[in-house]
């Protein structure tokens, strides 16, 4: 498995701007508190992406391929102390003396606070969506996520991922991105307890199930379109098993027998719709 990551001249960006972020050395005097009044917006934005593991060398996340074999998914929790060390290391590129280190130590908590708020805006801005000031009032308290390595990533572009807390509350996605043709990463605000993998919503198709040697179709309410119970199913008449074709007329007759009324072609099409699959990964409590 090979994942190529480029730093896009990020060290040069840090060297250029870090002095402006941490350059108010006079603020270290006893009578003047350290302030982020002149913080560099571009640098805070870059550090926010860094804390979402963007452009981080892949072997920092997965030291050995055996930790993420083919056809596997791994859930994880991002240690905030590790992120703080990551930010400290990125900003250390501009240090020349112990005085710089002292100033950085005074300012790092405020920088981390700004990053914790800005992380919520990274994904919406990439999607050209707006973010309200209220959404950015609070810092991200915890980050959890998953790594998926599977042919699903390559073969089903547009898969949707939803994370739920242990109480069933949806978690805000912070980053969902391809790392390679078959590796995808997802990060959420909070620790996922349940992860849902949904087929693309545009992937509606006609279909039915093969149960105990018979082709069965679970029916829908003719008015609302909602699925009925599993017992409310009819047998799909097969015209030619080898050619994989069904007898539409006879299948429609089976539906009419169930609903006790003549059905239209639109109602037949409604019954034959098969919704996209939803897969769930649920974390086990230890």
Cα–Cα distance measured from residue 71 to residue 10, given in angstroms and rounded to the nearest whole number:
33
> Across the strands, what pairs with 75?
146
Q: In this predicted structure, what is the pLDDT of residue 16?
A: 54
> Across the strands, what pairs with 195?
163, 281
> Across the strands, what pairs with 80?
none
Q: In this predicted structure, what is the pLDDT of residue 269?
A: 93
**148 touches 184 (CB < 8 A):** yes
Q: In this predicted structure, what is the pLDDT of residue 150?
A: 93
Q: In this predicted structure, what is the pLDDT of residue 12?
A: 58
Q: Where are the beta strands (DSSP E) in 85-198?
A: 143-149, 160-164, 172-178, 183-189, 194-198
Q: In this predicted structure, what is the pLDDT of residue 91?
A: 79
- Residue labelled with tokens 């994942």: 3
Q: In this predicted structure, what is the pLDDT of residue 3?
A: 45
Q: In this predicted structure, what is the pLDDT of residue 24?
A: 45
Q: What is the mean pLDDT of each run of 10 residues along the chain (286 residues)?
A: 48 54 44 51 87 91 91 92 88 73 73 87 84 80 94 85 92 94 95 89 79 92 91 93 91 96 94 84 78
């Amino acid at each position: 498995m090979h994942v190529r990551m480029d730093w896009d001249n990020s060290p040069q960006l840090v060297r250029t701007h870090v002095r402006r972020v941490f350059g108010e050395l006079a603020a270290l005097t006893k009578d003047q508190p350290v302030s982020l009044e002149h913080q560099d917006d571009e640098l805070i934005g870059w550090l926010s992406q860094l804390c979402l593991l963007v452009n981080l060398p892949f072997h920092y996340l997965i030291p050995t391929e055996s930790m993420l074999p083919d056809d596997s998914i791994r859930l994880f929790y991002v240690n905030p102390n590790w992120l703080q060390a990551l930010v400290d290391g990125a900003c250390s590129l501009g240090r020349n003396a112990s005085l710089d280190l002292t100033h950085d130590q005074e300012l790092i908590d405020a920088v981390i606070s700004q990053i914790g708020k800005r992380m919520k805006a990274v994904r919406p801005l990439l999607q050209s969506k707006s973010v309200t000031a209220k959404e950015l009032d609070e810092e991200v308290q915890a980050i959890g996520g998953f790594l998926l390595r599977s042919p699903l990533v390559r073969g089903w572009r547009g898969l949707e991922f939803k994370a739920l807390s242990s109480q069933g509350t949806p978690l805000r996605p912070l980053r969902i991105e391809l790392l390679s043709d078959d590796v995808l990463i997802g990060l959420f605000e909070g620790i996922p307890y349940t992860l849902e993998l949904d087929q693309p919503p545009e992937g509606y198709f006609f279909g039915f199930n093969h149960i105990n040697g018979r082709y069965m179709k679970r029916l829908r309410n003719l008015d609302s379109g909602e699925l009925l119970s599993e017992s409310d199913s009819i047998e799909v008449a097969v015209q030619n098993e080898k050619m994989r074709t069904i007898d539409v007329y006879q299948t429609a007759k089976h539906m009419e027998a169930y609903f006790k009324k003549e059905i239209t072609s639109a109602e037949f099409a409604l019954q034959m719709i098969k919704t996209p699959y939803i897969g769930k990964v649920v974390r086990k409590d230890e």
